[in-house]
A and B are shown apart, each in its own frame.
Chain A
Amino acid sequence: MTSTNRFRCAALSVAKHNYVARGVISHPRFELTVVTDDPDVPDWLHERNQAFADANQIPYVPNVEQALRDFDVQVAIVSPEAERHCDLSIRAALAGKHVIQDKPLSTSRSECDRLVATIEQTGVRFLMWNRNGLPAVQRARQRIEQGAIGKPIAIHADFYFAKDAGPPKGSRQPGYPPIDWLAHQVAAHVDGSDGGLGRQAMGELAVEGIYPLGYIRLLTGTEVRRVFARATAHFHQVHADNHVEDLASVTLEMDEGLIATLAIGRIGLASHPSGGEIKLHVLGSAGAMVINEARPDVGVYYRNQPAKESRQRRVASENDFLLADSFAQAIDTGGPTMLDAIAGRRIYATFEAALESCRTGQPVDVT
Chain B
Amino acid sequence: MIRLGVVGVDEPHCRELSRRIRGATLVPIRQTSSASIDPFEVDAVVFLGSQLPAPTVIEHLIADGTHVLLGTEYIDPVEVLEAATKQATTGRAQLVVTNPDRMLPSRRLIFDEIATGKLGIPGLIRIHRWEPVDSARLIGPGQLPAALVRDLDLTLWLKGHRPNVVFAAGRIGGVATGDVLQVHLGFADGAMALIDYTNTLPAGDGYQSLSVISSSGAVYADDHSNRQLMFRGGTASAEATDEGLLPIVNLLQSFIDCVLTDDDPPPAVAWWRQVHELAVAVRQSLETARAVPLEGR
Contact = CB atoms under 8 A, between A and B. Distances in A.
A168 B123 CA distance: 14
B190 A363 contact: no
8 contacts: A154-B198, A235-B123, A251-B182, A267-B213, A268-B216, A277-B220, A290-B207, A290-B224
Interface string A248-291: 11010100010101010101101110000101010101111010
B200 A247 contact: no
Interface string A162-191: 000000110000000000000000000000
A259 B182 contact: yes
Q: Which of A232, A286, A287 has the most CB of B within 10 A?
A: A232
Nearest to A251: B184
Contact of A154 (B182, B214, B217, B218): B182
A265 B124 contact: yes
Question: What interface size band does chain B fall in?
Answer: 35 or more
A85 interface: no
Contacts of A37: none
A362 B186 CA distance: 11
Contacts of A235: 123, 215
A263 B202 CA distance: 26
B51 to A, nearest CB: 28
Contacts of A253: 169
Interface in B165-196: 165, 167, 169-171, 180, 182, 184, 186, 190-194, 196
A361 interface: yes
Given A232-B123, A247-B124, A288-B198, 19 more contacts: A154-B182, A154-B196, A156-B194, A158-B211, A169-B215, A228-B184, A232-B190, A233-B190, A234-B123, A235-B123, A259-B170, A259-B180, A265-B123, A265-B213, A271-B213, A279-B224, A281-B196, A283-B198, A290-B209
A230 interface: yes
A288 B201 contact: yes
B289 interface: yes
Main secondary structure of the interface of A (DSSP, over half): strand
Nearest to B121: A234
Nearest to B224: A290
Given A230-B186, A261-B182, A361-B293, A288 B130 contact: yes
B291 interface: yes
Q: Give the secondary structure class of B's interface.
A: strand
B213 A288 contact: no
A249 B200 contact: no
A207 to B, nearest CB: 17
Given A234-B215, A257-B171, A362-B291, A281 B128 contact: yes
A249 B293 contact: no
Interface string B13-34: 0000000000000000000000
A30 interface: no
Interface residues of A, number: 41
Contacts of B215: 168-169, 234-235, 268
9 shortest A-B CB distances, which residue pairs? A232-B190, A271-B218, A234-B123, A230-B192, A228-B167, A230-B186, A249-B192, A290-B224, A251-B184
Interface in B275-297: 289-291, 293
Interface string B211-246: 101111110100110000000000000000000000
B124 A263 contact: yes
A60 interface: no
A166 to B, nearest CB: 15
A283 B130 contact: yes
B186 to A, nearest CB: 4
Contact of B211 (A230, A248, A259, A277): A277
Contacts of A265: 123-124, 213
B192 to A, nearest CB: 4
A26 interface: no
Contact of A283 (B171, B200, B220, B290): B200
Interface in B87-137: 121, 123-124, 126, 128, 130
A263 B200 contact: no
A136 interface: no
A327 interface: no
B192 A288 contact: no
A160 interface: yes
Nearest to B190: A232
A249 B217 contact: no
B176 to A, nearest CB: 13
Contacts of B209: 281, 290
